[in-house]
């Protein structure tokens, strides 16, 4: 086994250890927030890939999260029964893409199957990400930050102002996401433990994927783009294409996180699309050390959990703002940057500081 | 007329952006918060003192906050990267907003109309406007004129421009570049606060009203060409009027989405702004 996967194993061990700890201390209710944390973490590792490795900031990732979540929520709750006579609907129905289920009041609902909704959400996200990413990623610095922020605000305003997306109330009564017979992604307390493992299993899968990507030719190309884009271009790296593909990849991560969390929570509201959420994701990536997937993941675990459990109270946003400023002022490479240990060693031994490799 | 009122306030925010950008090359994402702070503190001061004095105090308070921000967060950073500055100023804007939430709560506030009431109107060649609109336009026009005069005819203003043109050269000539940056933050906070005071009888003010203003102010700054304050006024009017016309076509809820779409469009098509030259912007560092 290569050294790259050792942390993965350690991480899986940690996940199991947390579950066992909550089991023996009789505090299994913590698992609900931990499962939600897992889905946010999925978004954050994807964003870490974009910010840390490709060097492109995005202040609009809550937008992609919301696109996934809202699409899936809308498709799986919108009743198609009145349009059943239509050719398209009956075609979809015959090909098994629709499901019939009963709603809260016993009436029957004809909706899109969650799996199809998920695939649709992913496809739409890819399309939007290519559409937005193409021109946006030509920008740099302030312009890039503002453009992605603008994208996030547009998504927020649209979900807030659109009647069939529930306006300020969002969409509720979203059904569970069936995985296997008897196992679905839903917030039922009987399924708490399996859901916890499913969620963190997905995060682990995502991590393995990204770790492999980083250590491949593509990953090295991305690091060189981050270091010096012009130089990377001169070396024959198709910088624009690599940046765009990373952007789309991280958007898909965000969108899938949105889909799954929406099914887990049984609903989604416009606050998921707000700018503050995007800023929070960037803050977590920054604390984790920008180009450090494990750092981002561990910080996401800690901070999202604290915030979801409500330990930060009404100072929630202020805490993230403060963290953001402090990190950027005193440790712009992040708290858990990759050369932390060697830096500490160098400080202790007192040898002259030489230039860090990026 | 609503278009012109909003356009003026966007232009004021854009000018605030430009002042700081010109001396430091930083886009201060907390610019909208200065407007909010100006309006909020003016409302608070107005409870104990007459209106003109309250506005003066509000401007001074905001100006001091601007100075403190620069001294605490910006001054001692040595050649910070753009990404770092973006994140720091975003963090500052969150901090200001959250502090405002804890100090003032979530309630919406407003100053009284400076002259007359909300129903008074003045006939301007067939168009009826409330006097407050005239106040907004008038005060903003004076502010822009004073700023232009300041930058062109006073020693201090020229020193600030020298810093923006070439910092090292300015320093060699004996200009204290650090103080100029502090001064630019103070000026930009003050003009934001003035804007916040004059406009808040019409638009009201709340702890989170800064962010949308910052985004639209940035749109206007880009539209006019970053760093060009005279063009920003024209661009502000264009955006304000476009926005008020968009209500006829689309629901009000999408108003903000419209102006941001304009921002994205401008960024994609002509990042130097409609009044700027693309040659010059290529030389600038973003």
Tens digit of pLDDT for each residue in B170-186? 888 888 888 888 888 99
- Ordered by where they begin, the domains of chain B are 2-116+123-283 (1.10.3470)
Higher pLDDT, A289 or A278: A278
So what's the pLDDT on residue A74?
A: 87
Gap between the Cα atoms of B41 and B47, Å rounded: 10
DSSP assignment string, B136-192: HHHHHHHHHHHHHHHHHHSHHHHHHHHHHH-HHHHHHTT--HHHHHHHHHHHHHHHH
**B82–A329: do the CB atoms touch at under 8 Å?**
no
Mapped onto helix, strand or coil, the DSSP state of residue B110 is coil
Query: Considering chain A, what is the average pLDDT of its residues?
Result: 80
**A141–B286: do the CB atoms touch at under 8 Å?**
yes
Contact B189, B74 (CB under 8 A): no
- Is the pLDDT at B226 greater than 50, yes or no? yes
Structure tokens at A144: 């890039």
Question: Angle at CA A255, nearest 5°, toward A184 and A241?
Answer: 140
Higher pLDDT, B246 or A259: A259
A9-25 residue pLDDT tens:
888 888 888 888 888 88
Contact B217, B229 (CB under 8 A): no
Average pLDDT over residues A135-146: 82
Q: In sequence order, which residues have a C-beta less than 8 Å from that of residue B13 and are 6 or more positions away? A: B31, B32, B35, B192, B195, B213, B214, B216, B217, B218, B220
User: Which element (helix H / strand E) includes B84?
Assistant: helix B82-104
Gap between the Cα atoms of B112 and A33, Å rounded: 47
So what's the pLDDT on residue A354?
A: 44
User: Which element (helix H / strand E) includes A5?
Assistant: none
**B211–A275: do the CB atoms touch at under 8 Å?**
yes
Q: In sequence order, which residues have a C-beta less than 8 Å from that of residue A252 and are 6 or more positions away? A: A46, A122, A125, A126, A129
pLDDT tier for residue A357 given thresholds of 50, 70 and 90: very low
Closest alpha carbon to A318 in B85, B99, B88, B32? B99
Higher pLDDT, A295 or A312: A295
- Find which of B20, B264, B270 to mutate to test the A interface (most A CBs within 10 Å of its CB): B264
**A325–B254: do the CB atoms touch at under 8 Å?**
no
- Find which of B13, B97, B98 to mutate to test the A interface (most A CBs within 10 Å of its CB): B98
User: Virtual CA dihedral for B14, B17, B23, B27, nearest 10 degrees?
Assistant: -140
- Is the pLDDT at A251 greater than 90, yes or no? yes
Provide, rounded to the nearest whole percent, the portion of chain A with pLDDT above 90.
8
Contact A73, A295 (CB under 8 A): no
Weakest-pLDDT range from A230-239, A255-264, B126-135: B126-135
Higher pLDDT, A98 or A154: A154
B4-21 residue pLDDT tens:
888 888 898 999 888 888
Residue of chain B minimizing CA distance to A51: B83
- Is the pLDDT at A282 greater than 90, yes or no? no
Contact A171, A261 (CB under 8 A): no
Instruction: Give the gyration radius of chain A's Cα atoms.
Output: 21
pLDDT tier for residue A129 given thresholds of 50, 70 and 90: very high
**A328–B256: do the CB atoms touch at under 8 Å?**
no
Minimal C-alpha gap between B16 and chain A (Å): 16
Gap between the Cα atoms of A283 and A277, Å rounded: 10
- Chain A: residues touching B (Cβ < 8 Å): 57, 59, 135-136, 138-143, 145-147, 149-151, 153-154, 157-158, 160-162, 167, 275-276, 279, 282-283, 286, 314-315, 317-318, 320-322, 324-325, 328-329, 332
Provide, rounded to the nearest whole percent, the portion of chain B with pLDDT above 70.
91
**A59–B90: do the CB atoms touch at under 8 Å?**
yes
pLDDT tier for residue A250 given thresholds of 50, 70 and 90: very high
Contact B57, B49 (CB under 8 A): yes
- Chain B: residues touching A (Cβ < 8 Å): 27, 73, 77, 80-84, 86-88, 90-95, 97-99, 102, 211-212, 215, 218, 222, 251, 253-254, 256-257, 260-261, 263-264, 267-268, 271, 285-286
So what's the pLDDT on residue B285?
A: 46
Contact A33, A192 (CB under 8 A): no
pLDDT tier for residue B283 given thresholds of 50, 70 and 90: very low
So what's the pLDDT on residue A338?
A: 53
Provide, rounded to the nearest whole percent, the portion of chain A with pLDDT above 70.
84
Assign domain A29-77+113-332 to a CATH class.
mainly alpha
What ipTM is given for this predicted complex? 0.80
So what's the pLDDT on residue A326?
A: 85
The helices-and-strands tally (H runs, E runs) of chain A is: 14, 6
Gap between the Cα atoms of B257 and B273, Å rounded: 19
So what's the pLDDT on residue A235?
A: 84
pLDDT tier for residue A350 given thresholds of 50, 70 and 90: low
Q: Which of B99, B260, B286 is the closest to A143 by Cβ?
A: B286
Higher pLDDT, A54 or B116: A54
pLDDT tier for residue A353 given thresholds of 50, 70 and 90: very low
B69-112 residue pLDDT tens:
989 888 887 777 777 888 888 889 988 988 898 888 888 888 88
Instruction: Give the gyration radius of chain B's Cα atoms.
Output: 18
Average pLDDT over residues B119-148: 80
B129 phi and psi, to 5 degrees?
Answer: -130, 155
Average pLDDT over residues A140-159: 85
Gap between the Cα atoms of A161 and B250, Å rounded: 11
């Amino acid at each position: 086994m290569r050294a790259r996967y050792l942390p993965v194993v350690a991480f899986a061990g940690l996940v199991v250890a947390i579950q066992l700890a909550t089991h023996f201390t009789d505090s299994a209710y913590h698992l609900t927030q931990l499962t939600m944390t897992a889905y946010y973490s999925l978004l954050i590792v994807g964003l870490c890939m974009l910010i840390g490795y490709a060097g492109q900031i995005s202040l609009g990732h809550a937008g992609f999260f919301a696109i996934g979540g809202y699409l899936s929520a809308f498709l799986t709750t919108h009743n198609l029964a009145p349009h059943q006579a239509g050719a398209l609907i009956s075609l979809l129905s015959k090909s098994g893409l629709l499901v019939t289920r009963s709603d809260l009041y016993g009436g029957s609902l004809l909706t899109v199957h969650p799996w199809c909704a998920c695939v649709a959400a992913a496809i739409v996200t890819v399309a939007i990400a290519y559409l937005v990413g193409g021109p946006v990623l030509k920008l740099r610095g302030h312009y890039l930050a503002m453009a992605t922020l603008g994208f996030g605000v547009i998504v927020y305003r649209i979900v807030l102002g659109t009647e069939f997306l529930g306006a300020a109330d969002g969409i509720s009564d979203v059904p569970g996401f069936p995985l296997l017979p008897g196992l679905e992604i839903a917030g039922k307390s009987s399924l708490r433990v399996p859901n916890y493992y499913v969620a963190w299993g997905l995060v682990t899968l995502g991590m393995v994927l990204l770790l492999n990507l980083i250590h491949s030719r593509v990953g090295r190309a991305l690091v060189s783009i981050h270091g010096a884009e012009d130089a990377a271009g001169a070396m024959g790296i198709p910088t624009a294409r690599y940046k765009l593909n990373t952007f789309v990849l991280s958007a898909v991560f965000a969108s899938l996180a949105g889909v799954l969390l929406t099914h887990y929570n049984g609903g989604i509201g416009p606050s998921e699309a707000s700018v503050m959420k995007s800023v929070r994701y960037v803050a977590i990536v920054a604390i984790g050390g920008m180009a450090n997937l494990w750092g981002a993941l561990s910080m996401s675990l800690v901070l999202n959990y604290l915030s979801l459990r409500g330990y930060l109270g009404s100072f929630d946003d202020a805490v993230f703002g403060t963290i953001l400023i402090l990190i950027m002022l005193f440790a712009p490479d992040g708290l858990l940057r990759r050369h932390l240990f060697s830096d500490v060693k160098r400080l202790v031994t007192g040898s002259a500081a030489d230039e860090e490799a990026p | 007329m609503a278009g012109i009122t909003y356009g003026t306030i966007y232009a004021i925010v854009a000018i605030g952006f430009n002042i700081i950008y010109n001396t430091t090359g930083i886009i201060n994402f907390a610019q909208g918060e200065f407007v909010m702070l100006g309006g909020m503190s003016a409302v608070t001061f107005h409870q104990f003192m007459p209106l003109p004095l309250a506005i003066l105090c509000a401007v001074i308070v905001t100006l001091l906050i601007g100075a403190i921000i620069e001294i605490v967060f910006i001054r001692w950073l040595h050649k910070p990267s753009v990404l770092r500055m973006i994140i720091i100023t975003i963090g500052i804007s969150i901090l200001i907003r959250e502090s405002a939430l804890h100090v003032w709560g979530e309630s919406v506030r407003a100053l009284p109309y400076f002259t007359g009431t909300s129903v008074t109107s003045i006939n301007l060649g067939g168009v009826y406007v409330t006097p407050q609109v005239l106040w907004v336009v008038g005060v903003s026009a004076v502010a822009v004129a004073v700023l232009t005069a300041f930058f062109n005819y006073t020693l201090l203003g020229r020193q600030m421009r020298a810093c923006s043109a070439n910092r090292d050269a300015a320093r060699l000539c004996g200009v204290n570049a650090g103080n100029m940056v502090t001064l630019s933050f103070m000026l930009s906070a003050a003009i934001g606060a003035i804007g916040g005071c004059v406009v808040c009888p019409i638009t009201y003010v709340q702890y989170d009203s800064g962010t949308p203003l910052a985004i639209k102010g940035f749109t206007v700054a880009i539209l006019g060409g970053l760093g060009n304050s005279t063009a920003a006024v024209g661009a502000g009017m264009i955006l304000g009027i476009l926005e008020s016309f968009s209500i006829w076509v689309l629901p009000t809820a999408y108003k903000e989405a419209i102006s941001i779409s304009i921002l994205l469009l401008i960024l994609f098509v002509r990042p130097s702004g409609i009044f700027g030259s693309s040659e010059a912007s290529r030389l600038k560092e973003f």
